[in-house]
A and B are shown apart, each in its own frame.
Chain A
Amino acid sequence: MSPPQSLGLDVEILRRLSSDRLVRVLEDAPGAKDLIIDGDLMKMLDRIAGATLLRSHGVDKMYRLERVPPPVQSSQRVYLVRPSLLQLKILADHVHSDHAAHPDLHVHVVVVPRLVSWVTGLLEEEGLYGALTLHEFCPDFIPLDDDLLSLEMTSFFRDAFLEGDFSGCVDVARAINTLQGLFGQIPYVLAHGRAAKAVVNTLDLLNNQNSPKKTSQMPEISHLFIFDRDADYVTPLLTQLTYEGALDDHFGINAGVVEFPGEVVGQDAPRKVPLNSKDTIYDNIRNKHFASVSSYLITKAKEVNAKKEQAQNMTASQMKDFVANELRTLQSCHATLALHLRACESITKSVKQDFETQLTTEHGLVTGASNAGQARKFLKNCLARMQPLTDNLRLFCLYSLTQDGLSPKDYKQLASQMLAAHGHKHLITLNNLRQLNLLCATESSASSTGVNRDSSGTNIQGRLAQVTSLLPKKGQGWRAAAKRLRLIPDPDKTIDLHNPSDPSYVFNGAYTPVMAKVVGEALSVRGAFTQTLLDSLKVLPGTTISRAAPPGSPVGPHVALVVMMGGVTYTEVAALRLLAVTSGTRIIVASTSTINGDQLVSGVVHK
């Protein structure tokens, strides 16, 4: 399943760039220092630089940023923080409280990824501007794998789509700009959505600042796709069915590392295991449909055992050779196989008893094959049984999206049962989901006809209002969009889940992730994007920007960079990996972070 690797373009270099930049920032505070790190940055820093590297640059103690300040032991302390107002307020409180006892303490603040206006504003208000030394540390994409890059900006989805703060787009643009600096200006660009537009705008601005010689470099990446998460909410809401997706849903994969509980690793304590293509067994199963993983693992395990048995009948010299060369690989193979088999077992055991009903409901809602009444009943039972909040919210949102919005009666009934099960404070959560258009209660027909009557004048404004009232309202056009983009495969066509050729295998052939569909269509045509494709994108929220290489200019090899603003699911990654194979393109997926349905929803849950 692995995409063609023959094309150069080593993304590992990005890690070195980030780590060098981090070192430079640390050296800006020469000598011994204590480090206080925003919890949100821990995993990212871990992927860029280990503690040893930090220690070799004067870092003594490391603390997580919490309300209570750590003891002052060094004459310098360096705070590494996100530009979040809440965290910065804590930081400011630390500095105030430490100042009394330690007036000589020198405080550095490193804002990751950049010093935004409200950071300086807050520090100024706190009377700390000038008393602290401010730095920026702008990391590049972190390579989680050869074909998966992440900025680990886990709060981007909430910040941008809920709170209207698209400042993270600048950082994405910077990271893409680095890639363009390394691999040349990307000739074909297709961007859709608000955040995507902001990225392209900033990218243009940065391009103008680059030295002109870079633009003449032969491009090593031919296509750049940028999408917003809100172009496809259905994918993260559905239960993930690929092995990697299932691992993410059940154990949680953070920045490319999964923490298996003790029962899976066969020890008392949980163990962190990096998941990437360096592990060839994992590379073979990660994108497989969950149903075919264990049989594959068992076959492999039998092969390994057979080889070990062969060793029984070996001559002494053969044995010596075997021990020297093969035994170690066989043993590690064996360990990996056992690990994944236990992981499979653990997932199978922990899936809900009504897992099948859950899947049938989800897929029935998406394809429209089953009636909505059954789904509503299932949801009501889930609510009454107090199933986990995120599961219930996911199903509620999926129900609303696929019905193109709920009737006020339906909405009120389900919403009040949601609050009964999980607490009334989630009135705020529901409001957030409505802001995101993940939930939608259609206006009652009475009030909308009232509007029409008011505006039914002969004046142009009245007519305009009439026209706009006919247009699909926000969060209500999902079904039309799915039809237009042909996201739901023909039910008569059988989708092979075990040897897939169609990206919809990731959802049992019920649904194709938007990203995989659009990128697939775009790559199927050499050269500029077709008008048909651009027209079909109009059904998604936001506007499209498309660029093509001027005729005659070098286009370079077929390599595509697909950027998802607001988090990419492992399901989408799997679908794109399949696409890479079928289209003969190397596809590199980049995102603000990896995400699953629970993370997406819990990001906007009221705490």
Chain B
Amino acid sequence: MSRAENEAYWGSTDTAPSALDNFFDEDCEVTWTGITAEFTRSPQSRHSKTTPDGNSSSTSSIVDNITVHSVSDWNYVEVKGGRSNTSSSSSQSVSGVGKVIGEKLDSWKPPSVSIKWNSSQGQGSGPCVQCAAKDTEIVQLKKRLENSYSRYNLTLPPDDTVNRILLGQPYSLESYRSLEDKLALLDTALGTMDGSAVMATILHLKKTVKKTIFITEMQARPQACNLFTNYLRKRHKYSEAIEFLGSLGKPEEAAILSYELALTGKTPEAKMKNMEKSLETHFAVPSVSFEAKMVKNHMKLLGRQLAIDEADSKDQTNPMLLKYPRAANVVDKSLLTTLFYCCMYHWEAGETHIGSPLALRKAHDLSDRELLWTALKGRARVNHWPLPSELDSWLGSKGLLGALGSLSSAFGSSGKILPKGIKATLPMEVVVHTLHSSRAPSNVLAVYIGLVDNLESRLKLAHNYKCHQAVIDVHVAQKDRSALEQYMKEIPSGSPEYLKAESALKMVKWKN
């Protein structure tokens, strides 16, 4: 077909046939633009002239895109027409596109197309008046194109399409209409693992089949499910994602996601309300009983934090609040930070007070280790370094084994070696370090250093933190007179520690 003939064809109709027009619009991008190129063939200007309003809303950029797309696709279609199975030439390098177009236009032979699509309606073009024959043929081809729009014989093999997505070439999924095709496409995409291809094929499947089919097919493809769920999450389509996970039979993941959604609430009150709803609807499954417990704890904590904040923001009498103005609101902080806060401001409060550290411990089942560490640090913040005995009486003796037992007995027999078998809950070396870095006074340090089992390491600690009292204690315990006398040279004479050392020299039975 020559250029003139084609012009004659387009010239004969004022616009492209409406059906054809729609046809282009639906699918202005990909494979089909190859066919577009057949008909429009000549440059862009003609296209826009002949199909006036089809793309009027779009700006020039889209047209630019279309040009490029149809060029590369066109090459592709030609390869297909020639039944060449090597896909290697499917993408022409962009360079020299213009030249390629020219050559292709000149050498374009419609018959190859007609051979391909002739199978159903038989005869080739007769040797009548060429022009009329071609016209008829075009009309027939056009009809057949429309009819076979979705037919298998026109869809590219799935791996071709997937490779095109992968390589960033134009593609279309519209022609994959049978479920079999769609799934083949999805599985091919999953085979390459390219997220871009997988998402495109998932969305195509979702858009075109009913929900039950979509769910069933996705269920069989966990990789796709993971990607799709995260897509929905990032699009902030949480409820859809939760529902999807639920229908896949993944209540655990749905529950976690519903919790995540609950946390997006703007205010603490909204979060609490969301969490309650999420607990009711998603956390009923036994497999997430632990997680459900954690969410309940979170709600409980938030409730308490709000109450504490409410009370403290109005409180004008609490001297701690006046002396150490609150740096930040306690709402939304972690449990231990809340405990820290309570230890700072409500140390003395009775268990009935909302901010009482002991009440917090009771409500949240805190371990002794968590309690002691936080208390030590929280109190240090307000320049108070409770002695082990103080911690003991503060906590009360009931229910506190381990740490407290050892702490109290240690204090009771301060300066003596701890009875064997009782292990302190906290590593004393680290405790001493923490106290020292919070500038605890030397006498407090000495008491805590005294809790270290091993005399050698106790001595090392005492020297390390320059705690005279503790060094003296160790030497006394070791009954090492000469060492004590030696050490006394380092203590300023007349200081309380010096006096203590002096009195120890007189009192104790020495081994040397």
A binds B: yes
CA gap between A580 and B265 in the complex, in Å: 54
B168 contacts which chain A residues (CB < 8 A)? 114-115, 136
A163 near B199 with CB under 8 A, answer no
Closest to A424 in B: B298
B195 near A167 with CB under 8 A, answer yes
| Interface status of B330 (Cβ within 8 A of chain A) | no
Q: Mask for B168-199, Cβ within 8 A of A = 1, else 0?
A: 10000000000000000000000111111101
Q: Which of B165, B195, B196 has the most CB of A within 10 A?
A: B195
> Which B259-291 residues have C-beta < 8 A from chain A?
259-260, 263, 290-291
A422 to chain B, nearest CB (A): 5
Known: A117-B200, A424-B295, A427-B295. A417 touches B195 (CB 8 A): no
B260 near A121 with CB under 8 A, answer no
A202 near B370 with CB under 8 A, answer no
Closest to B294 in A: A427
Q: Mask for B358-385, Cβ within 8 A of A = 1, else 0?
A: 0000001011011011100100000000
CA gap between A524 and B165 in the complex, in Å: 40
Q: Mask for A397-425, Cβ within 8 A of B = 1, else 0?
A: 00000000000000010011101111111
Partner of A420, one of B199, B256, B366: B366
A431 contacts which chain B residues (CB < 8 A)? 256
B218 contacts which chain A residues (CB < 8 A)? none
CA gap between A357 and B61 in the complex, in Å: 63
CA gap between A425 and B259 in the complex, in Å: 9
Count how many pairs of residues, one from A and one from B, have CB atoms less than 8 Å apart in the complex.
159
A428 near B256 with CB under 8 A, answer yes
A385 near B373 with CB under 8 A, answer yes
A381 near B427 with CB under 8 A, answer yes
Interface size on B, as a range, is: 35 or more
- Binding stretch for chain A, among B226-234, B313-321, B443-451, B500-508: B226-234
Known: A117-B196, A164-B227. A380 touches B369 (CB 8 A): yes
Known: A164-B223, A380-B369. A424 touches B301 (CB 8 A): yes
Known: A118-B199, A133-B61, A424-B298. A202 touches B194 (CB 8 A): yes
Closest to A194 in B: B193
Q: Which of A115, A205, A206, A357 has the most CB of B within 10 A?
A: A205
Partner of A116, one of B195, B256, B433: B195
A163 contacts which chain B residues (CB < 8 A)? 226-227, 230
CA gap between A136 and B196 in the complex, in Å: 14
Closest to B89 in A: A209
Closest to B252 in A: A431
A421 near B290 with CB under 8 A, answer no
B306 to chain A, nearest CB (A): 15
How many residues in A have their beta carbons less than 8 Å from beta carbons of B? 60
Known: A381-B373, A384-B367, A420-B366. A116 touches B196 (CB 8 A): yes
A9 contacts which chain B residues (CB < 8 A)? none
| Interface status of B16 (Cβ within 8 A of chain A) | no
CA gap between A386 and B163 in the complex, in Å: 50
A121 contacts which chain B residues (CB < 8 A)? 199-200, 203
| Interface status of B167 (Cβ within 8 A of chain A) | yes
B259 contacts which chain A residues (CB < 8 A)? 427-428
B208 to chain A, nearest CB (A): 15
B221 to chain A, nearest CB (A): 11
> Which A463-499 residues have C-beta < 8 A from chain B?
none
A421 near B336 with CB under 8 A, answer yes
CA gap between A169 and B230 in the complex, in Å: 18
Known: A115-B168, A205-B163, A417-B370. A130 touches B194 (CB 8 A): no
Partner of B59, one of A117, A130, A136: A130
A354 near B230 with CB under 8 A, answer no
> Which A46-65 residues have C-beta < 8 A from chain B?
none
| Interface status of A197 (Cβ within 8 A of chain B) | yes
B41 to chain A, nearest CB (A): 24
CA gap between A163 and B223 in the complex, in Å: 9
Q: Mask for B419-435, Cβ within 8 A of A = 1, else 0?
A: 00000001101100110
| Interface status of B334 (Cβ within 8 A of chain A) | yes
Closest to B162 in A: A205
B298 near A384 with CB under 8 A, answer no
| Interface status of A198 (Cβ within 8 A of chain B) | yes
CA gap between A114 and B195 in the complex, in Å: 12
A591 to chain B, nearest CB (A): 18
Known: A164-B195, A169-B194. A205 touches B167 (CB 8 A): yes
| Interface status of A583 (Cβ within 8 A of chain B) | no
Known: A384-B336, A424-B295, A425-B263. A165 touches B430 (CB 8 A): no
| Interface status of B166 (Cβ within 8 A of chain A) | yes
Q: Which of B196, B199, B203 has the most CB of A within 10 A?
A: B196
| Interface status of A170 (Cβ within 8 A of chain B) | yes
B268 to chain A, nearest CB (A): 12
B59 contacts which chain A residues (CB < 8 A)? 130-131
CA gap between A167 and B59 in the complex, in Å: 30
B369 near A384 with CB under 8 A, answer yes
A423 contacts which chain B residues (CB < 8 A)? 332-335
| Interface status of A166 (Cβ within 8 A of chain B) | yes
CA gap between A137 and B230 in the complex, in Å: 25
Closest to A423 in B: B334
B163 contacts which chain A residues (CB < 8 A)? 205
A118 near B369 with CB under 8 A, answer no
Known: A130-B62, A386-B337, A427-B294. A117 touches B197 (CB 8 A): yes
| Interface status of B91 (Cβ within 8 A of chain A) | yes
B195 near A165 with CB under 8 A, answer yes
B196 near A167 with CB under 8 A, answer yes
B377 contacts which chain A residues (CB < 8 A)? 385
B197 near A419 with CB under 8 A, answer no
A412 contacts which chain B residues (CB < 8 A)? 290
Known: A381-B427, A421-B334. A165 touches B227 (CB 8 A): yes
B194 contacts which chain A residues (CB < 8 A)? 166-167, 169-170, 198, 202
| Interface status of B99 (Cβ within 8 A of chain A) | no
CA gap between A167 and B197 in the complex, in Å: 8
User: A residues within 8 Å of B by Cβ?
Assistant: 84-86, 89, 114-118, 121-122, 129-133, 136, 159, 163-170, 194-195, 197-198, 201-202, 205-206, 208-209, 353-354, 357, 380-381, 383-386, 412, 415-417, 419-425, 427-428, 431, 606
Of the A-B pairs whose beta carbons lie under 8 Å apart in the complex, a sample of 24, sorted by A's number, is A84-B234, A117-B197, A117-B200, A132-B61, A164-B227, A168-B195, A195-B193, A202-B192, A206-B167, A208-B87, A381-B430, A384-B367, A384-B372, A384-B374, A412-B290, A415-B290, A415-B294, A416-B294, A420-B364, A420-B366, A421-B335, A424-B301, A424-B335, A425-B263
User: B residues within 8 Å of A by Cβ?
Assistant: 58-59, 61-62, 87-88, 91, 163, 165-168, 191-197, 199-200, 203, 223, 226-227, 230-231, 234-235, 256, 259-260, 263, 290-291, 294-295, 297-298, 301, 332-337, 364, 366-367, 369-370, 372-374, 377, 426-427, 429-430, 433-434
Q: A121-B199, A381-B373 are in contact. List 8 more A-B contacts (CB 8 A).
A: A85-B231, A114-B196, A117-B200, A130-B62, A169-B193, A201-B191, A381-B427, A417-B370
